[in-house]
Amino acid sequence: MKGQGRKILITDDLHPLLKEGLKADGFEVQDCPDITPDEVGAIIDQYTGLVINSKVYVGKEMMDRASQLKFVCRAGSGLEVIDLKYAALKGITAFNSPEGNRNAVAEQALGMLLNLLNNISVANNEVKNGVWSREANRGVELSGKTVGLIAYGNTAQAFAKLLSGFEVSILSYDKYLHGFGNELVKESTMEEIAQQCDVLSLHLPLTEETKSLIGYEYLSSFRKPFWLLNTSRGKVLDTEGLIRCLQEEKIRGAALDVLENEKLETFNQSEKNLFDQLIIDKRVLLTPHIAGWTHESKRRIAEILLMKIRAIQ
């Protein structure tokens, strides 16, 4: 039977159809959603396949222990949890499943943007505290605005599709994609986005190249005050630069689903000070990295991973 004698370790809480599908293909599957990174390292030499989310980092040390490992796959989009260069040297196939949660990320981005423009969270909190303030919460319509997308991969394309119903102009810059402009989006530059956009949405992967790419220098170069969305990775955006631009009213509002450090209990004093400034600013909307985290995307990610694992066997 296909996959006979091969063992796959699943290290996170994924939809059961992945395990069921792999077992049907003849794989021996260990489903261990509560396993720790150290525990993975202790047994990884037993497995030919590894399925991870974000808690396990598959670097040189892990791969050197993984004497039988043939592939490692990421549930979701972020490949920063895998040392891709070393995996290539070891002959280990690495892949992800961004197709599985792109729609969920796009819907989250749209929801957060509409929330910002219409002061929904602010107004909600005020009413619950007995404050009925209409004029102070007068909103701004998305229609007619220009939206800039930094990177044009799976989530940005899905977001652009959703935005198309709002009569907006969409500009996008992607260093590694060219010729993607169409009736929906105009291929652009970061400079043009800064000159023309009312909304900036980040869809960058986290790499050495993109770390802190969006900082004060770029944010302050925008010709007019704008709204900022980040549903990608926290470390592509410099929090200190963001706060400075909010203080200078160069940014009208920010919606962040991700932070530079998402383990709040581990904050150093500098990180805590920056976080405290974010949470007291009514113009800042924060969610706990839930863009892409839907019931539908959980199933779809499992379907995509199953399809891709089957494709390499």
Tens digit of each residue's pLDDT (9 = 90 or more) over 283-302 = 999 999 999 999 999 999 99
Task: With cut-offs at 50, 70 and 90, classify the pLDDT of residue 78.
Answer: confident
Q: Within a domain: residue 73?
A: yes
Catalytic residue status for 289: yes
Work out the average pLDDT over 130-142: 98
Q: 176 with 277, same domain?
A: yes
Indicate whether 34 and 116 sit together in one domain. no
Mean pLDDT of the chain: 96
- Based on the structure, what is the number of domains in the chain? 2
- In a domain, residue 112? The reply is yes
Task: Specify whether 20 is located in the same domain as 129.
Answer: no
Q: Does some domain include residue 110?
A: yes
Q: Are residues 129 and 149 in the same domain?
A: yes
Asked, for residue 50, whether it belongs to a domain, the answer is yes
**195-224 confidence digits (pLDDT tens):** 999 999 999 999 999 999 999 999 999 999
160 and 247 share one domain? yes
User: Which residue out of 15, 74, 203, 233 is catalytically annotated?
Assistant: 233
Q: Which of 5-9, 26-30, 137-141, 169-173 shows the lowest mean pLDDT across its residues?
A: 5-9
Q: How far apart are CA 179 and CA 157, in angstroms?
A: 14
User: Residue 244: enclosing H or E segment and its boundaries?
Assistant: helix 239-247
Tell me if 297 sits within 8 A of 106, measured CB to CB.
Answer: no
270 lies in the same domain as 304: no
| In-domain check, residue 2 | no
pLDDT band of 98, cuts 50, 70, 90: very high
Average of pLDDT values for 86-93?
A: 97
Q: CATH number, domain at 300? A: 3.40.50.720
- Find the domain containing 192 and state its range: 102-286
Q: Average pLDDT, stretch 109-114?
A: 98
Per-residue pLDDT at 119 exceeds 70 = yes
Q: Which of 28, 192, 240, 262 is catalytic?
A: 262
Q: What is the mean pLDDT of residues 118-128?
A: 98
Among residues 263, 297, 232, which one has the least CA distance to residue 14? 297
Cα 194 to Cα 188: distance, rounded to the nearest angstrom: 10
The token duo for 75 is 């549930």
Cβ–Cβ under 8 Å, residues 125 and 284: no
CB of 200 within 8 A of CB of 227?
yes
pLDDT at site 224:
98
- % of the chain beyond a pLDDT of 90: 96
Q: According to the model, what pLDDT value does residue 4 have?
A: 42
Does some domain include residue 43? yes
Considering the domain architecture, whether residues 84 and 121 belong to the same structural domain is answered as no
**Same domain? 69 vs 167:** no
Give domain status of residue 1, yes or no: no
Query: Is residue 12 in some structural domain?
Result: yes
Q: Per residue in 161-171, pLDDT tens?
A: 999 999 999 99
Residue 313: per-residue pLDDT: 78
Q: What is the pLDDT of residues 54-76, one digit of tens each?
A: 899 999 999 999 999 999 999 99
CB neighbour burial string for 104-134, b if at least 16 within 10 angstroms, e if fewer: bbbbbbbbbbebbbbbbbbbeebeeeeeeee
What's the pLDDT tens digit per position in 3-19?
Answer: 444 899 999 999 999 99
Do residue 106 and residue 247 come from a single domain?
yes
DSSP tally for the chain: helices H, then strands E: 12, 12
